[in-house]
Structure 1
Amino acid sequence: MSVARFKDLCVDVNSVGPMTEFWGTVLGLTPPVDAAADGPVPLRGESSEQTVWINKVPEPKTVKQRVHLDVHTSAIADLENLRATVQSPISDEQSWAVMEDPEGGEFCGFPRDSVPAYRLMEVVVDSADPEAQARWWHGLLGGEFNAGEGKPYSWLENVPGTPFDYWVFISVPEPKTVKNRIHWDVDADTLDAVLAAGATLLRPQDDEIDWSICADPEGNEFCVFLPQPEDD
């Protein structure tokens, strides 16, 4: 039995308005008509799990993102028209383009003949030990664990609640050095169960936030939401 359940995704940005428009279009999600100018802004789809929060932060992107999104697209040119730039184009070796969003955050575009309404294909996490990371998140959230034999990656499929196909952990040589600009939230019955599974508590729920901030074994931040007490 899993300890927690996937809730939604969050993306840190410096300019809320332009990045809300960018990610809403790229992912096929809709912002609220009364979105706050300084965020946080929820981009919403057909299910609550498709929600992506656009959160304003003061610090700019400085290093390669530890977490990035892979998206379906009708054409790479469509992403470029939204002010994304190509880092590494499609080639005989790769069927996708490595892109940068308008604030320099990496993501990958996969051209498709038919593009679904919700365009997030997978979440990719840089890892020192991809198999250990995938197994840890499998233990926390469930789903199906997979390891590519002789390949530098492991992945999860059919994780309950996830609106994307794959959760991929890939090997990289560099360690995590700064706070992730993309993270996910989970629902859990108790925080103790998440910590007992091996998470680290970075900040408990307090008067300012209604959630607890934790980190996985390699330091990737995620937020834990507990059941809200019923009103009397």
Structure 2
Amino acid sequence: MPAQFKDLVLDATDHHALADWWCAAMSYRRKDELSPPEDGWVRPVEWPVPIVDPEGAGPLIWIAPVQETKTLKNRMHLDVFGDRDELVALGATVVRRRDDEIEWDVLADPEGNEFCVFAPR
């Protein structure tokens, strides 16, 4: 086996704010909140922020700090089940609404990372 899936990573110029946004959008939590290190160690603020599904169903997502802003379309993106209007109220922007050609909405998070939103199951 050449590779096995591990985690997802999103780049962000404000990785803490984007981690908080995705936590609110997907009911995720910062990993360190759910399982703090026993020795009192604190993750340095400049390090990537791991966020997790507290139910354990979704993948671990790292929000990694980068200096450059997003300028081009993502070559890889997230697909989520959710409510477009609720995500927009949290700060997402609509890139393309579902229509006769596509059965999902394309949104962008506050840093411009596109993701597709499918109607809730």
Question: Secondary structure of 2:95's match?
Answer: strand
Q: Tell me: CA distance 1:85–1:37, structure 2 relative to 1, closer, same or farther (3 Å).
A: same
2:110 paired residue number: 102
TM-score, normalised by the number of residues in structure 1: 0.44
State the shift of 1:38 in Å.
3.0
The 10-residue stretch of structure 1 (18-27 or 63-72) with the greater mean CA deviation from structure 2: 18-27
Aligned residue identity for 1:20: A
| Contact persistence 1:12–1:56 (CA under 8 A) | yes
Matched, 1:28 2:36: no
Question: Secondary structure of 2:87's match?
Answer: helix
2:8 paired residue number: 9
Name structure 2 gaps, 5 residues minimum. 34-41
- Give the one of 77, 81, 84 matched to 1:72: 81
1:51 paired residue number: 60
2:37 paired residue number: none
TM-score, normalised by the number of residues in structure 2: 0.79
Question: Secondary structure of 1:43's match?
Answer: strand
In 2, Cα distance between equivalents of 1:13 and 1:56: 5
Name structure 1 gaps, 5 residues minimum. 115-232
Residues 51-105 of structure 1: CA deviation (Å, up to 9, x unaligned): 11111011110111111111110x1111101110001112232221111111111
Question: Secondary structure of 1:109's match?
Answer: strand
User: What aligned pairs does 1:42-191 form with structure 2 within 5 A after superposition?
Assistant: 42-45=50-53, 46-47=55-56, 50-73=59-82, 75-112=83-120, 114=121
Q: Tell me: CA distance 1:89–1:35, structure 2 relative to 1, closer, same or farther (3 Å).
A: farther
State the shift of 1:36 in Å.
4.8
- Report the count of equivalent residues: 111
Percent sequence identity is 36
State the shift of 1:19 in Å.
0.2
Larger gyration radius, structure 1 or structure 2? 1
In 1, Cα distance between equivalents of 2:47 and 2:93: 25
Q: Which 4+ stretches in 1 moved above 2 angstroms?
A: 25-28, 32-39, 45-49
In 1, Cα distance between equivalents of 2:25 and 2:81: 8
